[in-house]
Structures are given as C-alpha cells and as structure tokens.
C-alpha cells in the first residue's frame, strides 16, 4: 500500500535537514552574487565546490593525514580509556587516587600544552595524536566508569548469592551493563578526536608532506585562497558528521535488542 | 566491594541462644504454634535474636526470632518500613546482622551451596539482565556456579516449561509482559533446584489476575518440589491464601509481633478464596496487622 513519503519517518529524517541545507546554500549563493562579494572575502558555495573539484588532490592528501591522526587518537583513547575505567572500578582507592588526574588532563587547554608536546615528540604525526588523545580520552573514561558502576544492585546481590567471582561479575554483569554509557562516550570522543587533531595541527603549523587539513586552512588563508580554505573546512565538518553517524550506527547495532536508547517506540 | 560479602563470622553467635529477652508488648513467637506436622520437621532456617542497626542509627530489626521448617510456606507481612525485606535479605545471607545468629540447615552460611541445601531468591522486580535472552537469564545461576553437568539444556527446558515460558527461549526481557518477566525470574530461581526459596514481594507490581495465577502456580510448584518458601508481601489475602504461617511484623523498630498458623489443607484453589475460613483468617490477620501498624506510629507519624 505504501505510505506517502512525507509520513515515512526515515525519509523525513534525511529529507528535512537536507532541504534546509540546500535552501541555505541557495540563499548564500544568491547573496554572494547579488552583493558582488569578492572571492577572497566570502566565496559562494559554487566557488567552494569548484575548489573541491580542482584541488581534490592536495585536499584529499590533507584529509588523509587528518583522518590518520583522528583515528589513531580515537583508537588509543578507546583502548586507554576503557583500560583506565576497568582499573578504576577495581577499587575505590585507585579511582580516588587517579581520577583527579584524568580531570586535570581534561581541563588543561590542549592549545596550551601542544607546543610542549611538539617539542618533546619528534614525529609530528605522533605529537598531534598525543594532543588529540588528551582531548578525546576523558569522555570515554568518565562514561565507561559510570557505566561499570551503574549496576542493578539486585542483580549484583544475585550474582554474589551464587558466589560469582570478580571476573564473572565484570564479564557477565558490569561490561554488558556499561555498553550504553560506553557508546555515549564514543559519540562525544569521536568528535573530540577530530577537533584535537585539527587544533593540534594549528598549533604545530606543520607543513610539507605531512600537512593535514588544518595546515591547508592556514596556508590558504595566507595565500588568500579563501574558496580552498572553505573547502578544507567543509571536509573537516563532513568528517565529523560521518564519524558521529558511524558511532550512532555502531551503538544502534550493539544495543538495539535491549536498550531504551536504541529501541523504536511505537505509539 | 569485597567479592565475598557474606562472612559467617559476622553472623556467628555473640549471645546465648535463649528466647527473646525483649521486654514488653511483643508476644513470644514460639508461643504461637505452627501446624503439628510441620513442627516436627527439621528447621531449614533459624533466625535467633537478630538485631540490625544501620550506620545512621536506624533500628531495622530488633530481636527477630523465626524458625522456618522444612516444607513450610511462611509469609512475612507488615506495614512499610517494618524490616520484612531486610529480614528476608538477611535470611538470604545478603546482609550482615548487627547481632544474633542465622542458621541454614542448622549450619552457618557455608552450607548454602551444598547439594540439597540450595537457596534461591526472587526479587521484587524480575531483575533480569536486559541484554540477555530469556534462556541465558535462566541459566545464569548454573553458569555462575560453573555447573557443567550434561543435562543443563534439558533442565532449562523443564524450568521454562514449569513456569509456562516454553517458546520464549530467545525473547529479550523487554519483549515480555511483567508477569512473564516474573515467570522467567522464577524459572531462574528454580534452575538450581533449590529447597529454600525466598521471595520479596514478587508479584506486588502485577495486576490481580496475573497475581492470582502466579500465586496458584507458585503453590503448585511448592507442593510438587517440596520447597520451603518464605514470602514477603503486604497483601493480607495473598498471605492467607498461600501460607501455612503468616508472620506479622511491626515497624520502628522492625520486629516480629505475631505468628499466625493458617491451618487449612492444600491444595488450595479458588474455592478457598471464597470460603468462610478464608474470610476468618483474613480478618484475624488484618486485625493483627492493624495492631502492628498502631505500634509503629507513636507520634501520629505516617508510615511511608
């Protein structure tokens, strides 16, 4: 029978924001043309698109560098963050002694310590990665720790009544229960890893073969290649959106059978 | 948190095992006779002069004495805050006592896991793992105990069949109704073939039809398997319908005040619910409950 497209939730979910985006780009283009805005002040979407096509080679190379740093930082944050959380829930003492340092790392602006890290670590990619990890790791630690602690006390009582080992408690109870929190942390952290990678590169100002999108923006700015600057910016934004969407998809896959956040509610 | 929170040391005797020395209003629970046949069977659970005082000074239990014998169906009934859930948790070895002793099968906690001395607990909520399918939830106790006997799958099938959940193996808890979740919870409790089942207001959140149905089912399983059950409830009707004994508790401080034998034969059915005897017992228990409620409210305090 087919419901009208407008009533299809999935269609609307994509079409509505897309329509807003297209409308915005059209207005932008129209305004730029109407006001005869020079390219070096504000290029229209068409000029940016043109730059994306013409400069795809350097843009893609820069994107790859930024992606590499982002993914390395994200992966390291997940591994170290989860390890730290597992350590924290082993004993209140460990958590009390170490958690303040996790907070310390979080509240120190990475821009302020990036120059130091860049001096200490020769390899630029690694230096940028470390900076991005410093930003991205905290949501993983705090969310996962919260999740591992948020166990149904009755379930825990039951486990103990059957004399569960700590290992059984962790594997069968705490870890599955912490997954929704962990995935929440992933969503935040994936975006932060990208931001960290870009911010660190701004500070490092690395050029040459290892230049990422941030350097592309800086350099295009110096050269008044403003359309290319916007093109690089657009790539960063799209990467962020793609990462977020990937995390949402992952969390949906993992939780769809049981967790409220991933359930489709029928009214 | 310690992985073995139940230390027998904490509940070992610090006082001689004499009767309750608590003065005043409380009748001696031992004076209220349980049915003769049960009186002679051996005690499964003995709570002797148990006091439980929380760190903030709240006296949750004062001088609790209770003996539950093999094959009994004992209900704990009382106003909110009378410590009936606390008492039940202590009976499950889930909480330390401040003083007094608890014995299971005339031993301390260490015998609970032994063969023929299994204890199981059914919580107020179904307390299932939401991420695991029904079958996996039901077999959890076996997994935790490392039970690797050959017939595990068959045992799970039988447990599911007994509670009427055959065919729901692969359902997730959220896909089940409240009553069915409770059934899964009971199947999980049954899987270790316990002979002492502690149930903490298991059907309190269910509608009356489901509750009556589950009451009948629990009675059947109790008779069929020769269980001993201690059942916390605040429904007078449920307590009278199910129990061979109703233990009435009062609040502030939480204590046992009356012990009423329901001397009616099993199996009980819908006919019993409408009989004069049932009404009589309900009146008797209600009056006891009123007396108990009055004790807990010295200064016009509303019980929560």
State the DSSP string of A168-234. HIIIIIIHHHHHHHHHHHHHHHHHHHHHHHHHHHHHH---GGG--HHHHHHHHHHTT-HHHHHHHHH
CB contact under 8 A, B119 and A161: yes
Residue of A nearest to B194 (CA): A162
Are A166 and B3 an interchain contact pair (Cβ–Cβ within 8 Å)? Answer: yes
* CA–CA gap between residue A257 and residue A206 (Å, rounded): 46
- Cβ A176–B144 below 8 Å, yes or no? no
Please list the pLDDT of chain B residue by residue as tens digits (304 residues).
334 443 333 333 333 333 343 344 444 443 333 444 445 588 889 999 999 998 888 888 998 899 999 999 999 998 888 888 889 998 988 888 899 889 888 887 766 766 667 889 999 889 999 999 999 999 999 999 888 788 889 989 988 988 888 899 899 999 999 889 999 999 999 888 888 999 999 888 888 888 888 899 889 889 988 889 999 998 999 999 999 999 999 888 888 999 999 998 988 888 898 999 999 999 999 999 999 888 866 554 444 4
The answer on A219 and A189 residing in a single domain is yes
What six digits make up the tokens of A34? 């109407």
Q: For A9-22, how does the pLDDT look when each residue is reduced to its tens digit (9 = 90+)?
A: 888 888 999 999 99
Calculated CA dihedral for residues B168, B169, B174, B176, nearest 10 degrees = 20
- Determine whether the interchain pair A172/B94 forms a contact, defined as Cβ–Cβ distance below 8 Å: no
Report if residue A77 sits inside a domain. Answer: yes
With b meaning 16 or more CB within 10 Å and e meaning fewer, what string describes B212-240? Answer: bbbbbebbebbeeeebbbbbbbbbbbbbb
Domain containing residue A16: 1-36
Do A10 and A83 sit in the same domain of this protein? no
Residue range A169-193, pLDDT digits in tens:
999 999 999 999 999 999 999 999 9
B121, B132, B173 member nearest A161 (Cβ): B121
- Which of A152, A160, A172 lies closest to B5 in CB terms? A160
**Contact at CB, A163 and B132, closer than 8 angstroms:** no
Mutation for testing the A interface, residue in B95, B128, B144 having most A CBs under 10 Å: B144
pLDDT at residue B267, rounded to an integer: 87
Contact A172 B143 (CB under 8 A): yes
Pair (A53, A120) in one structural domain: yes
Is A267 inside any structural domain? no
User: Which residues 118-177 of A are in CB contact (within 8 Å) with B?
Assistant: 152, 154-155, 157-166, 168-169, 172-173, 176-177
pLDDT tens, residue by residue, A121-146: 988 889 999 999 999 999 999 999 99
Chain A within 8 Å of B276 (Cβ-Cβ)?
no
Same structural domain, A179 and A223 = yes
Burial A256-267 (b: 16+ CB within 10 A, else e): eebbeebeeeee
- In 3-state terms, what secondary structure has residue B64? strand
- Check if B125 contacts A (Cβ < 8 Å): yes
Interface of B with A in 179-218 (CB under 8 A): 192
Note whether A166 and A246 are same-domain residues.
yes
CA–CA dist B49, B37 (Å, integer): 25
Q: CB–CB of A227/A52 below 8 Å?
A: no
Contact B192, B173 (CB under 8 A): no
Q: What pLDDT shows up at residue A260?
A: 78
Q: Residues 6 or more apart from A98 whose CB is under 8 A from it?
A: A84, A87, A88
Instruction: Report the residue of B131, B136, B184, B192 to disrupt the A interface, i.e. the one with the largest count of A CBs within 10 Å.
Output: B131
B interface test, pick of A147, A160, A173, A266 with most B CB neighbours within 10 Å: A160
Determine contact: B153 vs chain A, CB below 8 A. Answer: no
Q: Are residues A13 and A135 in the same domain?
A: no
Interface check A257 vs B, CB under 8 A: yes
Lowest mean pLDDT among A6-10, A252-256, B122-126: A6-10
Q: Say which residue, A165 or B41, is predicted with more confidence.
A: A165
Number of domains comprising chain A: 2
CB-based contact B3 A165, cutoff 8 Å: yes
CB A58 within 8 A of CB A210: no
Overall residue count recorded for chain A in this entry: 267
Query: What CATH number does residue A165 fall under?
Result: 1.10.3720.10
pLDDT of the residue at B240:
94
Residues A32 and A100 in one domain: no
A147 and A78 within one domain = yes
Rounded distance between C-alpha atoms, residue B50 and residue B65, angstroms: 7
Domain-located, residue A169:
yes
Chain B residues close to A264, C-beta within 8 Å:
none
For residues A202 and A259, the answer to whether their CB atoms sit within 8 Å is no
* Chain A residues touching B92 at Cβ < 8 A: 157, 161
Q: Can you say how many angstroms the Cα of residue B220 is from the centroid of all Cα atoms in its chain?
A: 16
Do A87 and A171 belong to one domain? yes
Q: How far apart are CA B296 and CA B25, in angstroms?
A: 12
Q: What class is the B45-118+232-297 domain?
A: alpha beta
Give the chain A residue whose CA is nearest to the CA of B188: A158
Q: What is the pLDDT of residues A39-97, one digit of tens each?
A: 888 999 999 999 999 999 999 999 999 999 999 999 999 999 999 999 999 888 998 89
Are A137 and A245 part of one and the same domain? Answer: yes
B141 touching A (Cβ < 8 Å): yes
């Amino acid at each position: 029978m087919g419901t009208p497209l407008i009533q299809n939730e999935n269609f609307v979910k994509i079409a509505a924001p897309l329509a807003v985006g297209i409308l915005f780009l059209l207005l932008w283009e129209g305004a730029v043309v109407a006001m005869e805005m020079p390219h070096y002040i504000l290029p229209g979407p068409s000029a940016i698109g043109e730059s994306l096509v013409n400069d795809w080679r350097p843009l893609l190379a820069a994107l790859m560098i930024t992606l590499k740093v982002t993914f390395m930082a994200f992966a390291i944050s997940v591994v170290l963050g989860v390890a730290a959380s597992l350590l924290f829930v082993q004993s209140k003492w460990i958590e009390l002694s170490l958690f303040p340092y996790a907070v310390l790392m979080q509240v120190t602006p990475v821009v302020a310590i990036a120059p130091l890290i860049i001096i200490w670590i020769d390899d630029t990619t690694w230096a940028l990665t470390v900076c991005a990890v410093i930003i991205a790791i905290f949501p993983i630690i705090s969310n996962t720790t919260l999740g591992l602690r948020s166990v149904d006390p009755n379930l825990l009582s039951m486990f103990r009544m059957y004399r569960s080992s700590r290992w059984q408690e962790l594997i069968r109870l705490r870890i599955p229960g912490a997954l929704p929190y962990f995935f929440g942390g992933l969503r935040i952290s994936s975006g932060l890893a990208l931001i960290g990678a870009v911010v660190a590169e701004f500070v490092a100002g690395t050029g040459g073969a290892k230049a990422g999108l941030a350097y592309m923006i800086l350099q295009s700015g110096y050269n008044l290649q403003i359309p290319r600057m916007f093109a690089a910016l657009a790539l960063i934004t799209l990467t962020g959106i793609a990462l977020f969407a990937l995390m949402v998809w992952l969390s949906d896959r993992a939780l769809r059978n049981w967790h409220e956040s991933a359930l489709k509610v029928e009214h | 948190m310690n992985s073995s929170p139940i230390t027998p040391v904490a509940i070992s005797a610090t006082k001689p095992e004499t009767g309750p020395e608590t003065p005043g209003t409380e009748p001696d629970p031992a004076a209220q006779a349980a049915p003769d046949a049960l009186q002679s069977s051996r005690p499964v659970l003995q709570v002797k002069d148990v006091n439980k005082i929380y760190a903030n000074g709240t006296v949750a239990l004062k001088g609790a004495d209770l003996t539950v014998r093999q094959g009994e169906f004992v209900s704990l009934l009382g106003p909110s805050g009378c410590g009936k859930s606390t008492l039940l948790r202590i009976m499950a070895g889930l909480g330390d006592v401040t003083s007094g002793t608890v014995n299971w099968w005339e031993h301390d906690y260490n015998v609970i896991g032994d063969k023929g001395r299994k204890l199981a607990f059914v919580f107020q909520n179904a307390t299932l793992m939401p991420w695991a399918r029904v079958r996996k939830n039901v077999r959890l106790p076996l997994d935790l105990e490392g039970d690797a006997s050959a017939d595990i799958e068959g045992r799970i099938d039988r447990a599911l069949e007994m509670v009427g959940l055959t065919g729901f193996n692969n359902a997730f808890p959220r896909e089940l109704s409240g009553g069915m979740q409770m059934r899964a919870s009971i199947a999980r409790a049954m899987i270790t073939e316990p002979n002492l089942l502690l149930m903490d207001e298991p059907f309190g959140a269910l509608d009356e039809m489901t509750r009556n149905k589950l009451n009948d089912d629990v009675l059947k399983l109790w008779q069929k398997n020769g269980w001993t059950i201690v059942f916390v409830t605040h429904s007078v009707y449920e307590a009278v319908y199910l129990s061979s004994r109703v233990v009435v508790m009062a609040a502030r401080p939480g204590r046992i005040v009356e012990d009423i034998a329901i001397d009616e034969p099993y199996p009980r059915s819908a006919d019993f619910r409408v009989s004069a005897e049932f009404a009589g017992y309900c009146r008797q228990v209600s009056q006891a409950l009123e007396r108990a409620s009055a004790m807990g409210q010295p200064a016009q305090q509303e019980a929560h």
